[in-house]
Amino acid sequence: MKLNRLLQFIFGFVLLFSISCTSDYEEVIPEITYNNGFFITNEGNFGKPNAEVTFVTRDLSLMQNDTL
């Protein structure tokens, strides 16, 4: 009886571990070269860390926020 309970515990642990380690989500980030565009900076308020940086391509087709 104890061996059966131990095997159930091991099977459950292996099943849980194998399910939790799979990754179905893959984020695709386009490659941006910063040669053909310009940066827009916002220094934010004095004494508060709320600065922002935005990169925009010259033809305005792509914008990427917070590129720091």
Give the residues across from 38 on adjacent strands.
56
Sheet holding 63-65, edge to edge: 37-42, 52-57, 63-65
The predicted model scores a pTM of 0.46
12-48 confidence digits (pLDDT tens): 877 777 665 556 667 777 676 788 889 999 888 888 8
- The span from the CA of 63 to the CA of 33, in Å, is 12
DSSP label at residue 27: -
- At residue 22, the pLDDT reads 53
Beta bridge partners of 55: 39, 64
